[in-house]
Amino acid sequence: MNTPKYKRIMLKLSGESLAGEQGFGIDFDTVNRISKEIKEIIDMGVEVGAVVGGGNIWRGRSSGDMDRTTADYMGMLATCINAMALQSSLEQLGVMTRVQTAIEMKEVAEPYIRRKAVRHLEKGRVVIFAAGTGNPYFSTDTAAALRAAEIEAEVILLAKKVDGVYDSDPNINSNAVKFDKLSFTEVLEKDLKVMDSTASSLCRDNNIPIIVFALDEPGNIKKVLCGENIGTTVGNF
Ligand code: GTP
């Protein structure tokens, strides 16, 4: 089970996944653990693009205290902070990385240039796409879907707290049933909260499957990549 099923992937990490138990900010033990898992798949020759959310730093959208656009731009800046933390952690392990930002901030990181991103991937560098899509009203899930389409990633690995997609919330309903496979149409029709609908439709229209899995369990990134059936696969079935 050590042969990767995919050559180029997009890894979507939520901002919260970097916060560890503390639930806020950046917990470097947690980030380093994730980086080690990324290193494992880089060492297997897999090309890795990554999009990180920002919810561990800023959850402005639900605050109601400011307009949506401003809150979204603050969220985009939060993703840049997370991207730099992940970059630093990966580089301490000797993994080459590049951060590319959708909002130009040249002093901080290189701007997003698709062809450059692809060259970085071909050279074995992890490319961390920061600042979302650069636009308000779009989530980092949508950024992951968009960049995945652009760099021609074969799959999106969607790392979550739960180990897949359920028919109801497994934290509330102990009888919740986990799906092994789901179609995008079902996800959209049943309004299952895998990704937001913009991101889901983008993946459906561009035929990019998503594998939802739990990040908390060590070794899961490699398992998913090697085709172990541990989460829920969403695709055009
Ligand atoms: P290749 O030479 O094509 O393999 O790519 P490279 O990324 O090594 O080349 P480049 O000379 O573009 O980049 C060297 C370093 O500068 C890398 O760490 C890049 O991330 C960084 N870099 C490149 N462009 C920018 C930029 O616009 N802003 C910032 N802050 N860093 C940049």
**pLDDT digits over 7-49, tens only?**
999 999 999 999 999 989 999 999 999 999 999 999 999 999 9
Q: Which residues line ligand 1 (CB under 6 A)?
A: 98, 106-111, 119, 123
Determine if residue 54 is labeled as part of a ligand binding site.
yes
Name the least confident of 1-10, 121-130, 145-154.
Answer: 1-10
Task: Inform me whether the pLDDT recorded for 197 exceeds 70.
Answer: yes
Is residue 59 a known part of a binding site? yes
By mean pLDDT, which of 40-49, 53-62, 178-187, 215-224 is the weakest? 53-62
What would the two tokens of residue 33 be? Answer: 């653990």
The reported pTM is 0.95
Cα 205 from chain centroid? 19
In ligand 1, which atom is closest to the CA atom of 123?
4
Distance CA 235, CA 206 (A): 10
Protein residue whose Cα sits closest to atom 24 of ligand 1: 110
Q: Which of 110, 118, 127 most suits a substitution to test ligand 1, by most atoms within 8 Å of the C-beta?
A: 110
- In percent, how much of the chain has pLDDT > 70? 98
Measured by CA distance, the residue closest to atom 2 of ligand 1 is 120
Tell me what the pLDDT averaged over the chain comes to: 95
3-state percent helix, strand, coil for the chain, nearest multiple of 5:
40, 20, 40
Shortest-distance Cα residue to atom 16 of ligand 1: 110
What atom in ligand 1 is closest to the CA of residue 106?
28
CATH architecture of 8-235: 3-Layer(aba) Sandwich (3.40)
**DSSP secondary structure string, 169-185?**
-TTT-TT--EESEEEHH
Query: Cα–Cα distance between 112 and 102 in angstroms, integer?
Result: 5
Is 222 annotated among the ligand-binding residues? no
Q: Which band of pLDDT confidence, cut at 50, 70 and 90, is reported for residue 92?
A: very high
Q: Which atom of ligand 1 is nearest to the CA of 111?
A: 27
Q: How many CA atoms lie within 13 A of 74 on its CB side?
A: 16
Distance CA 5, CA 175 (A): 32
11 marked among binding-site residues: no
61 has a pLDDT exceeding 90: no
Q: Is 135 annotated as a binding residue?
A: yes
